[in-house]
Chains A and B, each alone.
Chain A
């Protein structure tokens, strides 16, 4: 028979090592998971970066869809040549061949009207291209946004914010318009005004190539990758340092998308942070002139 005072000295013989080990292992696993999920924030960032790049490419491709910007650039250069030639013929007719003056004047007026129409269409195209690019980006964003959110007890990754979109052009990308020869005077004027690059024989980007004989008319040639021996430049992502904002009313060829992603760790003073990612893409290049 066991006496009471002796019972206190009896050690419990039920085991607790297994339970303790189990608790510690569980705690360790949770700590490891928490640590890895914080480490995995870089993966979250890579994912959002991929999405931003994709949105920028979507917008960029829309800008020069069916080569509309390339065609506009080419036609503007050709309109310029037409106006110059018509003015030259008109001047000759006026000074030396009066019987031709009426015909020359009418053709000159038609050339000017064509230039005015083309400038109006260029401005219309600018608005249309930008709006269509924004719509395409928004549509694609709606498809992709849900896949980013992540909710863990210690980490919350929100849905990325609506992308901010900007349009511009890329440094070192000239126009897609090859130098037009055929009228010696105009060629000399182009060289004098430095409208054409001597190495590539392309017109410079984002210029208003006004002709000296008619400064009222605008001939804006915009930046766009040029075709090289029938190779058309595909749309691609570029680095942030290559992006330039448009200053004048030129046609855009680059789309910049910025997105923010809220990350809430619930720990410490900086519990809520925002990850920002930027994607920049150049539009598809110009095609060969038909």
Chain B
């Protein structure tokens, strides 16, 4: 009987070790590394968008925030350089009242009603600017059959929030800046 033909009983070593190793690396480890870059790009985009909404919340009037959002391109360009593509964005104002569960969302340039303004009956309220950005986050390598997250960009929505700063009133019009 030839010993060389006996296979290990423990099953730890296989004759096709090299092939298996290659398969393991190509189909497991490399895709994992590929995917991990999605996480890195996501974190970068999240941080950038958070910083941007923080700036939007510091403008004088709410209309200035919308103007700034439509005219600024630097943050989108930066995302592009990091590999993240911004497809669309929406800016909203969320107002949370004094009682839990009481809140409204104001879209676009719609005014905040009197009861929800500072000093209103629902107050004291917390005002938050919410920026929702739809992004496509690609892995390191894209190509071949389209599998989102593996061979093609993963569509995600990044939400960032920041407290609206200017709760004062315009001395000329006497309106709250949040409503201008």
Q: Which residues of A contact B (CB under 8 A)?
A: 2, 6-7, 9-18, 20-21, 24, 28, 31-32, 35-36, 38-43, 45-46, 49, 172, 174, 199-200, 202, 225-226, 228-229, 231-234, 236-239, 242, 285
A2 partner residues in chain B, CB cutoff 8 A: 3
B179 located at the interface, meaning its Cβ lies under 8 Å from any Cβ of chain A in the complex: no
Closest to B25 in A: A24
A to B CB contacts below 8 Å, 5 in the list: A14-B8, A31-B33, A36-B36, A39-B43, A174-B171
Does B166 sit within 8 A of A, measured CB to CB?
Answer: yes
B165 within 8 A of A: yes
Given contacts A10-B3, A31-B36, A237-B58, 19 further A-B contacts (CB under 8 A): A9-B3, A13-B9, A13-B13, A14-B12, A17-B20, A24-B24, A35-B37, A35-B40, A42-B43, A42-B51, A45-B51, A46-B50, A46-B54, A174-B171, A229-B169, A231-B168, A238-B165, A239-B58, A285-B168
* B170, A228: Cβ atoms closer than 8 Å: yes
- Quick one: closest B residue to A20, CB to CB? B21
- B106 sits at the interface (CB 8 A): no
Q: Which of B50, B54, B172 contacts A200 (CB 8 A)?
A: B172
In the assembled complex, the CB of A187 is this many whole angstroms from the nearest CB of chain B, namely 19
A200/B171 in contact, CB under 8 A: yes
What is the 8 Å Cβ interface bit string for chain B, positions 1-34, against chain A (1 contact, 0 not)?
Answer: 0011001111111100100110011000100110
Give the docked Cα–Cα distance between A35 and B140 (Å): 13
Residue B60 interfacial (CB < 8 Å): yes
- Closest CB-CB distance, A173 to chain B, in whole Å? 9
Smallest beta-carbon distance B66→chain A, Å:
15
Query: How far, in angstroms, from A39 to B41 measured CA to CA in the complex?
Result: 7
Please give the distance in Å from A4's CB to the nearest CB on chain B: 12
Chain A residues with CB below 8 A from B59, complex form: 239
Please report the C-alpha to C-alpha distance between residue A128 and residue B10 in the assembled complex, in whole angstroms. 82
The 10 A-B pairs with the shortest beta carbon distances in the complex, nearest first, are: A15-B12, A42-B47, A13-B8, A233-B168, A39-B43, A228-B169, A39-B40, A236-B165, A200-B171, A32-B36
The answer to the question of B159 belonging to the interface, with a C-beta cut-off of 8 Å to chain A, is: no
Shortest Cβ distance from B11 into chain A, in angstroms? 7
Which residues of chain B have C-beta atoms less than 8 A from A42's C-beta? 43-44, 46-48, 50-51
The complex places the Cα of A46 from the Cα of B160 at a distance, in Å, of 12
* B143 sits at the interface (CB 8 A): no
- The listed residue (A9, A46, A172, A228) touching B4 by CB distance below 8 A is A9
Q: In the assembled complex, which residues on chain B have CB atoms less than 8 Å from the CB atom of A35?
A: 36-37, 39-40
Report whether A13 and B168 are in contact in the complex, using a CB–CB cutoff of 8 Å. no
Given contacts A39-B44, A46-B47, contact A199 B13 (CB under 8 A): no
Q: Let me know if B155 is at the binding interface, CB within 8 A.
A: no
Chain B residues near A32: list those with CB within 8 A. Answer: 32, 36, 39
CA distance A10 to B119 in the complex (A): 87
Task: Name which of B8, B48, B167, B169 has the most chain A CB atoms within 10 A of its CB.
Answer: B169
Kindly state the separation between the CA atoms of A242 and B13 in the bound complex, as whole angstroms: 70
Q: Is B123 an interface residue (CB 8 A)?
A: no
